[in-house]
Amino acid sequence: MPLPTAEDVAGALEELRSQVPLVQSLTNIVSANFLTNVLLAAGATNAVIDNPHEAEFFATIAGAVLINLGTPTDFQAEAFTLAAKSAHESGRPWVLDPVGVGGLPWRTKLAVDLLTHRPTAIRGNAGEIAAVAGQSGATRGVDSVAEAADAVPLALKLLDISEAVSASGPVDYVSGRTREGDIGTVRVHGGSALLPKVTATGCSLGALSAAYLAVTDPFTGLVAAHTHFSVAAEVAARAAAGPGTFVPLFLDALASTTPGDLRGKGHIEPHDQLV
């Protein structure tokens, strides 16, 4: 199987809309509402089940699980561990979004502990990916001060414990393992400078990644989520006057994006060859 292409992500969108996967989101208080609207617009659905009484069981019935470390509490941290362990043991895909990892010691240790449950995919900015891979990670709070391309060697290291890893930036880099076990990286261009001006867009990309992982292989799914996001953002930005008008236009664009749009407008290119 070659690196994921626009044709592959178009097929993934067809599956997403056909299956309408349910994502279990263990996410932060800033993102829950917008993240849910993004999933609904794209063609999936969401349940914010993030307490330790229910998280373990729900991870066995959700199509995929998102664990986002944006505003973790002790109560949530317990639920993260239970959900990650349950998802891994029951064969459900789960995505780790290591928000703020590298700059904050407690959540960094929490992320490292969660890695023992082998996330199916890891999605973050360059500094977060560097930190998760055991490097210093140039982070400033929840914002990255590193280049996404610089994180690629570290993302490749994480493929020892995960099937796909992405580092977001003006250009997104997605590394993964094909169904045949080959490893490679693609670049996803596009998007809009308005995305980082809106709260929870990165968190929502993590949730959309989980939705795609529920319907296709991890490498294709992670590329599909980034491509769907970037194509919709480009469409929305053309008509937006600023961040406030961008939000509803972005949700509309996520909903109206077709497989044909991903085939024709998806900016996916190889970063390296399969190995």
Q: Domain extents for the chain?
A: 6-270
- How confident is residue 233, by pLDDT bands cut at 50, 70 and 90? very high
The pTM of the full predicted model, rounded to 2 decimals, is: 0.94
Res. 136: pLDDT tops 70: no
Residue 179: its pLDDT value, please?
A: 81
Distance CA(111)–CA(101), nearest Å, equals 7
pLDDT band at 143 (very low <50, low <70, confident <90, very high): low
Beta carbons of 95 and 26 less than 8 angstroms apart? no
pLDDT at 32: 96
Query: Would you state the pLDDT for residue 144?
Result: 53
Q: What is the pLDDT of residues 60-76, one digit of tens each?
A: 999 999 999 999 999 99
The pLDDT tens digits of the residues spanning 186-199 come to 999 999 999 999 99
Strand partners, 184: 176
Residue 275: the pLDDT is 52
Select from 99, 252, 267 the least CA-distant residue to 170: 267
Query: Spelled out in words, what is the top-level CATH class assigned to the domain 6-270?
Result: alpha beta
- Residue 148 pLDDT level (bands cut at 50, 70, 90): confident
Does the pLDDT value for residue 150 go beyond 60? yes
Look at residue 146 in the predicted model and tell me its pLDDT. Answer: 65
